[in-house]
Amino acid sequence: MRKKKNLKKLLNLNLLDYTNITPKYGELDMPYIRCKKIPEIDYLASYSQPSTYFKTEHTCVSFFEYDIFFDGLYGLWNGIYYGVKDIQEFYLERFSGVKYFISPDYSKCGDSLEIENIHRQMRTRLVAIWLTMNLNAIVIPLVSCANGIGMKYMLDGMQDCNVVAFNTKGPMGDPNQLPIFLDSIKYTVDHLQHLKVIVVYTSSPNKDKVLSLFKYAIDRGIDIQIPDNMLQTRNRLMGGGADGIN
């Protein structure tokens, strides 16, 4: 008897392990993700600093650094996409015991092809699903877009979320990025009917300036959490980074 071929493996369709059990929404079939009530996150650890993953009881691991640090040849995405068990086992061990994540920040760019931005949105969703399924972790969905086109699909599949995250590090010091960032906050508040909490990553020690970006959300009763992180601590101690770009 001929051995049955593993077409899923041969055709690089290992993602079906996750997409076949996950509802999809919107014209682009974005995978569904949900984050309900969480305890107040009190520290955001960086992916590249595993020694800080358990700094506090409610530390949350984030990916707000250059993509090459967490998305290289042996990154988690490639391990999932190509079904490489050794890579997945590495990340299972690396993240063992972590209770909270913000979904990976696969950078989107206004100068890039929009199909690339869409692909990166899909990747962050599927990695979030992997983290949830394999680590039983709570994953806070990151909201991001590079332009008005991306804003139209960035929330697809997130309609039941009570908690989302935003990254202010780029927009705070960039007059070109800031308007689309502010629009994305407004769009999120207006379209996620169950939204209660926004977790904010920032390197700026100027909390009032950061909060001012979220005035639209605050005025509508959304709780804004700004956990401490390594860069924010550095800038607070050294008196720099008020614009939140370093």
Encode 192-219: b = buried (16+ Cβ within 10 Å), e = exposed. Answer: beebebbbbbbbbbbeeebeebbebbee
Whether 32 and 23 have beta carbons less than 8 Å apart is answered as yes
Average pLDDT, the chain: 94
Which residues have a Cβ under 8 Å from the Cβ of 221 and sit 6 or more positions away?
Answer: none
pLDDT value at position 36?
92
Closest CA to 225 of 160, 171, 132, 162: 162
Give the residue extent of every domain in the chain.
Answer: 11-19+28-238
The half-sphere exposure of 67 on its side-chain side, counting CA atoms within 13 A, is 11
Q: Which residue has the tokens 């913000």?
A: 102
Which residues on adjacent β-strands are paired with residue 138? Answer: 100
**For 106-134, how does the pLDDT look when each residue is reduced to its tens digit (9 = 90+)?**
999 989 999 999 999 999 999 999 999 99
Q: Which of 150, 92, 101, 95 is nearest to 121 (CA)?
A: 150
pLDDT at 3 over 80: no
Cα(235)–Cα(241) distance, integer angstroms: 5
pLDDT at 244 exceeding the cut of 60: no
Q: Is-above-0.85 flag for pTM?
A: yes
Q: Are 227 and 60 a contacting pair, CB within 8 Å?
A: yes
- How buried is residue 115: exposed, middle or buried, by Cβ count under 10 Å (0-12/13-18/19+)? exposed
pLDDT in tens, 144-194: 999 999 999 999 999 999 999 999 998 998 899 999 999 999 999 999 999
Residue 3 is classified by DSSP as: P
For 11-19+28-238, CATH gives 3.20.20
User: Where are the strands (E) in the chain, listed by range?
Assistant: 24-25, 30-31, 43-46, 59-62, 100-102, 138-140, 163-167, 197-201, 223-225, 228-229
